[in-house]
């Protein structure tokens, strides 16, 4: 049965349709893989065996009747940030203890409507705040990848670390994830998987626990570019319940795969060449440029002059929104409540016990930057920077650039409980240096595996596109995938 878990979504879809095996068999294969591996990898915070079996059975019935949907019988893992009806939904936080919503997020509802099967809820950084999946109340996720000759545990990246690890370790056929500053692309890069953050407004945010509303966007993490395209097609939709979602038809992303990139203009931003950037990253980037050129694309040097302000501005805007978004976790209506001597004491006790260190840090930062007397200097200025970053991209695209190629991360996966990162939060924040500009500008960005570093750990490249031109990203990323090949960890778990 384990062979079944090796199939991509596209392959499994074909074989299910051909009745080579049943959705139930496929689901059982994944459930059994999870049951074996999860103790070691900690990718899932809840496994929904019964629900998965019931959904698979329903899929088999629809397949039998010839009523199969686009994702019929495909077993998926769902990031714990998405509300799933009657199922554990806690954003991997203690403060949402026992919370099982009576509603289903629009993104997951779209997937189930297309016939997908839910395997369970995936671990993540608490409230999606983190770049290593170490801030989860449910403990860190372990990266299925290890450096050659080492048994040391590595982080899978974050915040969608559970999603990336589960996809990489074949514990689901694909996974939902979310990206506020790089939370899809960075873990994808750290695990040799493909992750796309679509344009802001492409997927509905309704029913997804909010971190920073103006930046949050759902997207898939998948084994390859085609699977990412298949998943995004199902996840994306306009939604009258989310007025920031955009009413544009969702294209057949899969059709873009394999299309030539000949004559496309690929921009290489000089500001992304950082001082002290590892040579391996530099080499990878150059390799990516060569692959693009070899495929007939025109390579142009571009400038995105406000790039260096993106990360500091992001760490003002995102915490500001988060400080307000997380105010609802007050112990009054749901989740954790720690009794207090009066209402203020109850709030303080509950929030002190319910939120982890990183979440508290960001609430404090956000509260500070919105405070009277500081608003103009921080929040307002950060919003102005955001406008400038957006304009940088617009100007480049106006010059005819179709997509921008950058490294996905400044390094490969690092160790669990890395001392340097733990002692200096800013070091951790630097993980998002290449990805955060994309969120600030609301653009689509894809991370695709492009090679291994000297220790045998995966590295990714990022492609950034124009608003709602995800097809360009699938086309270009597929070229890299074709050239670089695919990467899988050696099973040790």
Partner 1 sequence: MTLIDTRTPDPKRFISGATGDWEIIVGMEIHAQVTSEAKLFSGASTTFGAAPNANVSLVDAAMPGMLPVINEVCVKQAIRTGLGLKAQINLRSVFDRKNYFYPDLPQGYQISQFKQPIVGEGKVTVSVGPAKDGSFEEIEVGIERLHLEQDAGKSMHDQHPTMSYVDLNRSGVALMEIVSKPDIRSADEAKAFLTKLRTILRYLGTCDGNMDEGSMRADVNVSVRRPGGEFGTRCEIKNVNSVRFVGQAIESEARRQIAILEDGGSIDQETRLFDPAKGETRSMRSKEEAHDYRYFPDPDLVPLEFDQAYVDALAADLTELPDEKKARFIEAFGLSEYDASVLIAEKATADFFEKVAKGRDGKAAANWVINDLLGALNKAGQGIDETPVSADQLGAIIDLIKNGTISGKIAKDLFEIVFTEGGDPVAIVDERGMKQVTDTGAIEKAVDEVIASNPEKVEQAKAKPTLAGWFVGQVMKATGGKANPQAVNALVKEKLGIDD
- The tokens for 471 are 């097809």
8 contributes a contact to partner 1 by CB under 8 A: no
Q: How far is the CB of 328 from partner 1 (least distance, A)?
A: 4
Cβ 427 vs Cβ 459: under 8 Å: no
Considering only residues 388 to 427 of the shown chain, the ones binding partner 1 according to CB under 8 A are none
12 contributes a contact to partner 1 by CB under 8 A: no
244 contributes a contact to partner 1 by CB under 8 A: yes
Strands 174-179 and 217-222: antiparallel
314 vs 148: CA distance, rounded Å: 35
Task: Indicate which residue of 105, 136, 183, 323 is catalytic.
Answer: 183
487 contributes a contact to partner 1 by CB under 8 A: no
User: Which one of the spans 5-13, 98-106, 109-117, 426-434 is the region binding partner 1 (CB under 8 A)?
Assistant: 98-106
73 vs 57: CA distance, rounded Å: 9
96 contributes a contact to partner 1 by CB under 8 A: yes
207-235 burial: b if 16+ Cβ within 10 Å, else e: bbbbbbbbbbbbbbbbbbbbbbbbbbbbb
Cβ 162 vs Cβ 133: under 8 Å: yes
DSSP 302: E
Binding track, positions 174-213, relative to partner 1; x by CB under 8 A: -------------------------------xxxxxx-xx
Q: Is 59 a catalytic residue?
A: no
Task: Indicate which residue of 59, 105, 159, 204 is catalytic.
Answer: 159
- The tokens for 23 are 């959705």
Strands 265-269 and 403-407: parallel
Closest CA to 338 of 330, 346, 327, 329: 346
Dihedral angle over CA of 120, 122, 123, 129, nearest 10 = -140
Give the DSSP H or E segment for 33: helix 23-41
Q: How far is the CB of 209 from partner 1 (least distance, A)?
A: 5
Binding track, positions 267-306, relative to partner 1; x by CB under 8 A: ----------------------------------------
Cβ 201 vs Cβ 245: under 8 Å: yes
Strands 117-122 and 174-179: unpaired
Q: Which is nearer to partner 1, 199 or 323 (CB)?
A: 323
User: Which one of the spans 83-91, 142-150, 224-232, 253-261 is the region binding partner 1 (CB under 8 A)?
Assistant: 83-91
Give the DSSP H or E segment for 266: strand 265-269
Q: How far is the CB of 208 from partner 1 (least distance, A)?
A: 5
With contacts defined by CB under 8 A, how many residues of the chain interact with partner 1? 44
379 contributes a contact to partner 1 by CB under 8 A: yes
- The tokens for 33 are 């893989």
Q: Which is nearer to partner 1, 59 or 208 (CB)?
A: 208
Considering only 240, 282, 290, 424, the residue that binds partner 1 (CB under 8 A) is 240
- Read off φ and ψ for residue 463, nearest 5 degrees: -120, 135
Considering only residues 335 to 354 of the shown chain, the ones binding partner 1 according to CB under 8 A are 343-344, 347
User: Which one of the spans 134-142, 273-281, 296-304, 315-323 is the region binding partner 1 (CB under 8 A)?
Assistant: 315-323
Active site residues per annotation: 79, 159, 183
Positions that interact with partner 1 (CB under 8 A):
82-83, 89, 91, 96, 99, 101-103, 105, 205-210, 212-214, 240-244, 320-321, 323-324, 326-328, 330, 332-334, 343-344, 347, 367, 370-372, 375, 379
């Amino acid at each position: 049965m384990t062979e079944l878990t090796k199939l991509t979504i596209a392959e499994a879809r074909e074989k299910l349709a051909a009745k080579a095996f049943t959705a139930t068999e496929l689901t059982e294969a994944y459930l059994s893989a999870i049951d074996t591996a999860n103790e070691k990898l900690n990718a899932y915070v809840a496994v929904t065996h019964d629900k998965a079996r019931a959904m698979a059975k329903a899929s088999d019935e629809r397949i039998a009747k010839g009523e199969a949907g686009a994702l019929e019988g495909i077993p998926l893992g769902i990031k714990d940030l998405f509300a799933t009806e009657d199922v554990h939904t806690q954003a991997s936080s203690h403060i949402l203890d026992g919370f099982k919503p009576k509603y289903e997020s629009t993104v997951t509802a779209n997937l189930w409507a297309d016939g997908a099967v839910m395997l369970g809820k995936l671990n993540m950084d608490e409230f999606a705040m983190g770049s290593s999946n170490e801030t989860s109340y449910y403990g860190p996720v372990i990266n299925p990848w290890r450096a050659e000759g080492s048994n040391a545990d590595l982080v899978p990246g974050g915040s969608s670390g559970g999603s990336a690890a589960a996809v990489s370790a074949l514990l689901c056929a694909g996974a939902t994830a979310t990206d506020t500053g790089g939370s899809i692309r960075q873990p994808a890069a750290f695990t040799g998987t493909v992750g796309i953050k679509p344009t802001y407004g492409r997927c509905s945010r309704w029913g997804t626990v909010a971190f920073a509303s103006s930046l949050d966007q759902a997207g898939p993490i998948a084994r390859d570019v085609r699977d990412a395209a298949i998943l995004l097609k199902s996840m994306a939709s306009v939604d009258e319940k989310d007025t920031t979602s955009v009413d544009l038809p969702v294209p057949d992303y899969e059709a873009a795969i394999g299309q030539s990139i000949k004559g496309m203009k690929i921009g290489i931003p000089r500001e992304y060449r950082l001082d002290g950037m590892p040579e391996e990253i530099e080499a990878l980037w150059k390799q990516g440029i060569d692959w693009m050129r070899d495929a007939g694309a025109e390579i142009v040097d571009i400038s995105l002059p406000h790039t260096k302000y993106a990360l500091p501005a992001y760490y003002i805007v995102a915490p500001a929104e988060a400080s307000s978004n997380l105010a609802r976790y007050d112990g009054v209506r749901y989740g954790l409540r720690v009794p207090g001597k009066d209402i203020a004491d109850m709030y303080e006790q509950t929030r002190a016990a319910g939120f982890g260190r990183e979440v508290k840090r960001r609430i404090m930062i956000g509260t500070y930057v919105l405070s009277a007397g500081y608003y103009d200097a921080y929040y307002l200025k950060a919003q102005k920077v955001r406008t400038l970053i957006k304009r940088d991209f617009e100007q480049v695209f106006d010059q005819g650039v179709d997509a921008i190629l950058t490294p996905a991360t400044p390094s490969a996966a690092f160790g669990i409980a890395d001392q340097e990162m733990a002692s200096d939060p800013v070091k951790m924040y630097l993980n998002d240096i290449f990805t955060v500009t994309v969120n600030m500008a609301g653009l689509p960005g894809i991370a695709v595996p492009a090679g291994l570093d000297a220790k045998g750990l995966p590295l990714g490249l990022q492609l950034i596109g124009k608003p709602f031109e995800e097809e360009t990203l699938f086309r270009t990323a597929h070229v890299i995938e074709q050239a670089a090949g695919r990467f899988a960890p050696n099973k040790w778990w």
